[in-house]
Amino acid sequence: MSHAPGAGPLPSREELSADQSFAGLILGTFKERIEGAKERAKDKAPAKADTGSTARSASGIHAFERTLQASVRQNQRRKRREKPPVDQTLIGASKHIDGNAPAPGGVVTGGGPPDPTFASLLPGALTLPFRGAPLAIVHAVIVTLALLLLELSPPLGLVACFLALLELFSLRTKLIRDACAGRDRVAWPEVSELAGSAAIAGAASLLLAPALVVALLGWGSGAVAPSSQGSLVARAKRIAKPVADPKLQRSFGQNTLLSLEALVASELPAPDRKPAKIAESVQRSFLARVRQLGTLEGAGGLGLAARALFLVGFLLFPMAVLAATRLRSVYAALYVPIVVRSSLLTPGTYLLILLSWAVYWASVAAIVFLLPGVLRAQLGAGAGHLAWAGLVGLQVAGGGMVLASLLGRLYRSRQLILGWD
């Protein structure tokens, strides 16, 4: 039975029956006494006086009856106020702890409207980049300009890419918090959120640190040997200064191609090659890395351990970002028990979140490493590189907005089950 929000439950049928029986008993006793008084008055008083006494007695009966009924109603209202309302939210949570199927009619929260389901909030997340097109375009332009500056001046371009990442992190934090609070909007992030957003991203990334450490141990001394062409030192030098000899003929986009090759190639060949050859090397090296990860080719004990740790870190990463952003604490991202527990409380919905993150990063990697050579061959060096940078910017900014909104909507639809408040 539904009633006004905030009010207690209506009295049960047994309570109403008991109150009515008590009222009837009192009224019956009072009427019997009045009738007895009337009979005695007929014997002792004149008829005329008896008529007036009878009228007054009848009036008194009706007045007392109305007073008694008002008292019964007041007693029922008092009982409703004293009894606490049944917490229907706990009933809904206990019956539907999985998080995929809400309680019939939604989860009832204290008589208010039912909480939205994740399925009902999903279209709003997917259309967010279109509804917030100006902000999405601005952030895509920021990423595009950073990539173009990386081609013109690699050191300045690296700084610009770092600043662009900070801005993207702050936008993600803003979108997650707005979605958690039920505000379906796209607002520009505040300057004060830059530092906190970077701290949240860094804390969540520490979940991937064990995999990186084990991978470096498996790599051995060659990881830091300056003489090795595949070491981290040699790769960092190639990215910071792609072409050692300034006399070499370069085309627009060649510096970026050499930097991409330094990220994925097993060994760094000489930079004095044609851009088409470098782009082909980037594609071949990237596909070899993917095949190596998928087939476990050449993986020893440490290699398998690194892959397992990376998988665990990836599974916990989105929930760690959500916990740290919603609770406004970087420690929440590193508190593994709450991250694991929250992931297990919403298995079906969180699986969709993980799939969306996997698709997002796979698409970004494909655009970054596979498209440069294709676009250069189709559009030419300048237009091809500009188109590549624009596609990367659109995917990173637009897709990142969708991921952030999905995380916030996960909390919005499962906040009772997560129990973070």
- pLDDT band at 313, cuts 50/70/90? very high
pLDDT band at 254 (very low <50, low <70, confident <90, very high): confident
Output the average pLDDT for the chain.
78
Joined tokens for residue 168 = 């993207």
Residue pair 257/374 in contact by the 8 Å Cβ criterion: no
pLDDT of 212: 85
With a cut of 70, say whether residue 244 has pLDDT above it.
no
Residue ranges covered by each domain of the chain:
13-83, 86-113, 118-418
**Per-residue confidence band for 169, with pLDDT thresholds at 50, 70 and 90:** very high
Q: Is 24 buried (19+), middle (13-18) or exposed (0-12) by CB count in 10 A?
A: exposed
Pair of tokens at residue 94: 């206990």
Q: Which of the given ranges, 58-67, 83-92, 410-419, has the highest pLDDT on average?
A: 410-419
What's the pLDDT band for 271 if we cut at 50, 70, 90? Answer: confident
272 pLDDT exceeds 60? yes
Mean pLDDT of 137-161: 93
CA nearest neighbour of 390 among 127, 145, 144? 144
Length of the chain: 421
The Cα–Cα gap between 394 and 402 comes to 12
Q: What's the predicted TM-score (pTM) here?
A: 0.69
- Is the per-residue pLDDT at 126 higher than 60? yes
Of the candidate ranges 46-50, 132-136, 353-357, the one whose mean pLDDT is the lowest: 46-50
Predicted confidence at residue 43, as pLDDT, reads: 58
Distance of alpha carbon 351 from the chain centroid: 12
- The pLDDT score that the predictor gives to residue 40 is 63
Residue % of the chain over a pLDDT of 90: 35
pLDDT band for position 233 (cuts 50, 70, 90):
confident
**Over the stretch 182-215, which tens digit does the pLDDT of each residue have?**
888 788 888 777 888 889 999 999 999 988 888 8
299's CB contacts (< 8 A; 6+ apart) are 292, 307
Distance CA 268, CA 253 (A): 18
Give the pLDDT of residue 174: 92
Tokens standing for 18? 């008991």
Report whether 203 contacts 330 (CB < 8 A).
Answer: yes
Q: What is the mean pLDDT of residues 327-343?
A: 91
> Is residue 402 over pLDDT 50?
yes
Determine the residue type at 235: R
Q: What are the tokens at 69? A: 């009924």
- Confidence bin at 350 (pLDDT 50/70/90): very high
Confidence of residue 248 (pLDDT cuts 50, 70, 90): low
Position 374 scores a pLDDT of 92
